Amino acid sequence: MNFNFFVLPFTIGFFIIIVVLGVRFTRWIWKLSKIDKLRILHGFFTRRTLRAIREAWNESLLHKNIFKVNPFLGFMHMSLAFGWFLIIVVGHIEMYALTGNLTAMPWESVFFRYFEHTTSHAHAIFAHIMDTLLLLVLGGVGLALYKRVNMKFFGIRRNTQLRVSDKVALYSLWAIFPMRLLAESATAGFYMNGGWLTNNIGHVFQLVNLNSNGELIFWWIYSISLGAFFVVLPFSRYMHIPTEVLYIFLKEYGIKLKREYNSFSEIQVYSCSRCGICIEACQMHHAKISNNQSVYILKNIRDENITERKIYNCLLCGRCETLCPVNLKLNDLRITLRINASKDFNSTYDFLEQPHNTEHAEVVYFAGCMSHLSPSIISAVETILKTTKTPYLFIDKEKGVCCGRPLMLAGQQKAALKLINHNRESIIQSGAQTLITSCPICYKTFKEDYELGQMRILHHSEYIHELLTNKSLKISKSTQKYIYHDPCELGRGSDVYEEPRFILSQTGTLKTIENERQKSLCCGGSLGDVSLSMQERNRITHQTLLQLTKPNPDCIVTACPLCKKTFAKQKKVPVKDIAEIVVECM
Amino acid sequence: MIDVIIIGGGIAGLETACTLHTQGIESLILEKEKEIGGKLTQWDSLFPSNRNAKELVETYKDEIQKHTITVYVNTKVIAIKKQNDGTFEIFTSREIVFKAKTIVIASGYSIFNAERKEEYGYAIYPNVITSADLEHMFATKKELKAPSGRTLERVAFIHCVGSRDEKVGNHYCSRLCCVTGVKQAIKIRQMLPETHVFNFYMDLRMYGLGFEEMYREAQEKHGVQFIRGRVSEIAQTNEGRLQLKAEDTLAARPVRMQVDMVVLLVGMEAPECNSILGKSCNIQYNAAQFIVPQDIHYSSGITSAEGVFVSGTSIAPLSVFDTINHARSTALAVSNFLMPIQNE
């Protein structure tokens, strides 16, 4: 067994991290609900595990999602993660292949070059590979250093403040690979056992007469930086590295965020790498709100200094969620925090009458409160339903009750459930097989919270799309140029992107803009944040409108009454719902 | 070169011209519509005295003729250019370029487009009308009925439509809609004593001469019911009535009510032309596009640009009473400005 005292810092650090991670992971999994634990058991020997491995490969190592946002940022993450991973893997292969020693201690592969001085062809090939990999990682370290100076180059404006543990971890991470290079080069200077890079630097060391004490100092520092990094990792932001892998696996086994803050929520919190992409995605900076973006919230949860203001100050538009490279469920996470923080108001709703629908219909139309505030949408949808001779029941025509989602978004889960149960009973009593709504906010909660069984739930744009494809509705093309604004709850929230676009391609010309579909901007009217002032909202709306009106459309078309009302504040470009456009072209 | 060009032939412009004439200063009026009198021509009667609006317009028309003031109708101002010598060139929809030493902006106001408050269903339900529509009905119809022909058993007025409403972007109070609502409610009760009238309001701002008395009279003598609370939405029932949902904030309970006609008391907005005029002669505006006078107390008719004056509702919503007074004070400011030039 090869040994020198300098391996101790690394070895101690390595065992500490194994123990700490072991304890943490066990505790997290232990605290999951019984069903979630069963999910892991049942999923383990299925294809889900392979899928999780593939995702961990793509995201934890290659960081493909970050590449999509900014190639330089992607390369930085990839070279550090994937490069280091390869160094570990190839390093082990090298050691097993060259020494045949299968019972080696962990430090023996890490400090292989210090102990193994042979210079055969096989050794040389491995040494060249290892040098190349080391250079790849050093490239990443270089970019990381450059990022500290010029963040904008990586498409990032700001990032989180570092705590002491983060700083220790960061500096030791920066030190690890340069020190490895120096240490291996120093040894290579004596024995020429390195590759193309280390041998040459070693040559330089020989020229300046580096002695074996100097060599040992390099190995010591290398080992200390490794050990320090391992010891502080679980207590720094780098905890995201192991946690993300766990998160990917649990997610793949079908574990989802519940409406309560549990250990799976905590795993998500710890999986955040603080890349800062969500800061850029957030529109709140137009309202001069710059400390509430998801990365700050996650950090605040970890540091236990989260305030109510921070929890509620968010539009819940979901732009950060679609861009998050770790696929964290940021909206749901924030809603669970709101539920935890919510106070009980006197929301008895005992004035609600027991629903008793005597009317029955296969198709039930639920307009939603916001649609009632923009009656032209309702009359357009009714015109379409009547023209296609669809027998329908307008279920919230007179005594409509809110769908419950605005309360849910505010964290008022108990109150929301009362409304949900009320509406649910009324809808089920109607005997409906298809439920059509004009409001994406209702639509999302119908799909997610109502448990309506086999009932088809459609937004009116989907229903119109159906009518057009089965030729029950005929429309003619106009010369109008449209811009389609994806409502958050319909687009990112419910993945309905193509149906409205298909309809508009039939009624006129649809122009495109940069931020659409998943990247669509929020109108600023969101019910997700009730603490925003109207001026703050107006600033957000203004910025969104600037982008929407850029291609000079004749009309801004949307599919959400709230977006429509929000945009209607400006007088320059008319704003219409997609149903109104269809009626115009009938 | 004429001394003064007045942009706008409403009562503010007309009064400014008449006062200037008695001071011995010649002016010329540019009016974009086909006749003078402005919004007043669309009004039936004026509060608090209930006098006929046409009568006042006719008085001004006579005055204009008497003073032989030139008026260009159908003339829309496109741009104003200030010359190096301090005079102005005015470009209009006509081919002539007007030249003047001073300009008075009397562009007036425009009525809030109630379609922007979609929840009230204006232009969607036939029986939802605005206060301006109702004035027109008062002036032209002998018998008062809902636009669809229904007899009016119940009528609701909604105050503050387009005013004091962040959601439509208007923070300011239009000041006159309150008393207009009271005036019109009384009128309906006088014409149709069987009809119930309800006014939904946030606050009633009876600031002017005789306004509070009208409000008291509306309740005590005419039995108009005032409900404090905003209406949230209006829907049409199958029978063609209008169902409105509101909250009675004094009784702290939700209200649902069916009526035959809804009157929206629409507010006043700065006309679009203000921004065009502003850009071409560099005047200060507030967020609502009304012109900001140099000193709100001391010189409310003078703008931040030298030689450009402002008269009437171009600065803020004003009643007829206030408009005429303001127009006179602006005329005085113009003549003070021109005096030294003429003495030279």
Q: Which residue has the tokens 């957000």?
A: A540
Segment (H or E) for A224: helix A212-232
pLDDT at residue B304 greater than cutoff 60? yes
Please report whether residue B344 resides in a domain: no
pTM across the whole model = 0.82
Smallest Cβ distance to B124: which of A379, A397, A568?
A379
Q: Which residue has the tokens 């999780």?
A: A52
The upper half-sphere exposure of residue A550, i.e. CA atoms within 13 Å in the direction of its Cβ, equals: 13
Smallest Cβ distance to B166: which of A373, A376, A534?
A534
* ipTM attached to this prediction: 0.71
pLDDT at residue B237 greater than cutoff 80? yes
Please answer yes or no on whether A569 and B124 come within 8 Å at the CB atom: no
pLDDT score recorded for residue B344? 55
- Span B243-248, mean pLDDT? 92
Q: Is A497 strand, coil or helix?
A: coil
Residues B189 and B120 in one domain: yes
Strand locations in A275-370, DSSP E? 363-366
Residues in chain B with CB shorter than 8 Å from the CB of A438 are: none
* Cβ neighbours for B170, distance < 8 A, ≥ 6 positions apart: B112, B162, B163, B164, B267, B269, B288
Please report whether residue B28 resides in a domain: yes
How many domains are there within chain B? 2
Question: Which of B122, B128, B164, B167 to mutate to test binding with chain A, by most A CBs within 10 Å of its CB?
Answer: B167
DSSP for B20-87 reads HHHTT--EEEE-SSSSSSGGGGG-SEETTTTEEHHHHHHHHHHHHHHTT-EEE-S--EEEEEE-TTS-
Residue A83's closest CA among A123, A132, A122? A132
Structure tokens at B162: 């387009």
Residues B118 and B259 in one domain: yes
If pLDDT is split at 50, 70 and 90, which confidence band does B169 have?
confident
Its domain, for residue B68, covers: 2-109+270-338
At B256-266, the pLDDT tens digits run: 999 999 999 99
Burial (CB < 10 A; 0-12, 13-18, 19+), residue A162, is middle
Segment (H or E) for B90: strand B88-92
Residues B149 and B238 in one domain: yes
At B133-150, the pLDDT tens digits run: 999 999 998 889 999 999
What is the separation of C-alpha A353 from the centre of its chain, rounded to a whole number of angstroms? 41
Residues B136 and B218 in one domain: yes
Residues of chain A with pLDDT under 70: 357
Residue A249's closest CA among A48, A41, A23, A58? A48
pLDDT score recorded for residue B105? 95
pLDDT score recorded for residue A69? 86
Number of CB atoms found within 10 A of residue A198's CB: 28
Please answer yes or no on whether B233 and A379 come within 8 Å at the CB atom: no
Question: Which of A351, A372, A381, A530 to mutate to test binding with chain B, by most B CBs within 10 Å of its CB?
Answer: A372
Residues B165 and B257 in one domain: yes
Please report whether residue B343 resides in a domain: no
Q: What is the CA radius of gyration of chain A?
A: 29
CA separation for the pair A538, A525 (Å, rounded): 9
Smallest Cβ distance to A372: which of B125, B166, B233?
B233
The contact set of B with A (CB < 8 A) is 113, 116, 118-119, 121, 124-125, 166-169, 232-236, 243
Residues B143 and B203 in one domain: yes
Please answer yes or no on whether B235 and A568 come within 8 Å at the CB atom: no
The answer to whether the beta carbons of residues B184 and B224 sit under 8 Å apart is: no
Structure tokens at A445: 């909660």
CA separation for the pair B339, B344 (Å, rounded): 9
Please report whether residue B173 resides in a domain: yes
Question: Which of B166, B245, B275 to mutate to test binding with chain A, by most A CBs within 10 Å of its CB?
Answer: B166
Please report whether residue B67 resides in a domain: yes
Residues B92 and B171 in one domain: no
pLDDT score recorded for residue A492? 94
pLDDT score recorded for residue B341? 63
Q: Does the CB of A374 have a partner CB in chain B at under 8 Å?
A: yes
The answer to whether the beta carbons of residues A444 and A494 sit under 8 Å apart is: yes
Question: If contacts are CB pairs under 8 Å, which of residues 534-553 in chain A contact chain B?
Answer: 534, 538
**DSSP type of residue B292:** P
Residues B101 and B166 in one domain: no
pLDDT at residue B342 greater than cutoff 80? no
Residues B262 and B154 in one domain: yes
- At which of B215, B241, B267 does a domain end? B267
Residues B92 and B123 in one domain: no
At B177-188, the pLDDT tens digits run: 999 999 999 999
- At which of B247, B267, B287 does a domain end? B267
- At which of B244, B267, B290 does a domain end? B267
Burial (CB < 10 A; 0-12, 13-18, 19+), residue A140, is buried
CA separation for the pair B224, B178 (Å, rounded): 14
Residue B16's closest CA among B92, B54, B71? B71
CA separation for the pair B270, A230 (Å, rounded): 67
Q: Is B255 strand, coil or helix?
A: strand
Residues in chain B with CB shorter than 8 Å from the CB of A563 are: none
Residues B173 and B317 in one domain: no
pLDDT score recorded for residue A148? 86
Residues B258 and B233 in one domain: yes
Q: Does the CB of A527 have a partner CB in chain B at under 8 Å?
A: no
Please answer yes or no on whether A398 and B243 come within 8 Å at the CB atom: yes
Q: Does the CB of A70 have a partner CB in chain B at under 8 Å?
A: no
pLDDT score recorded for residue A354? 80
CA distance B57 to chain A (A): 32
